[in-house]
Amino acid sequence: MTEFTSFQTWVGSGKFSNNGAEIGYVVTFNDNGETYIAAVQRGSKTSEGFSAKAVKFSQQRFLNQQDATNWAYAKAKELIKRI
């Protein structure tokens, strides 16, 4: 089996915590060329970068990268509406 590679990106809400960190979601993609996993987890972003919080996250497996990408960004946008 091929080793998984990982990539993370940030989807911000434009809303900020009391300490000035932007609230949003970390979107993570993992794939091995055959299986594509997308995860969305609440996080925060400062001038030093973004980090995921140790809370529940949503994750799904897909057969292709495009479906994983579409789902992940749609899920992040859906969750941001609740912030």
The residue assigned the tokens 């912030």 is 83
Q: How many domains does the chain divide into?
A: 1
Domain of residue 19 covers: 5-80
How high is the pLDDT of residue 54? 65
2-43, pLDDT tens digit by residue? 788 999 999 999 999 999 999 999 999 999 989 999 999 999
pTM of the predicted model as reported, rounded to 2 decimal places: 0.87
CB atoms within 10 A of CB 80: 17
CB atoms within 10 A of CB 21: 16
- What's the CA gap between 5 and 14, in Å, rounded? 29
For residues 50-54, give the mean pLDDT.
85
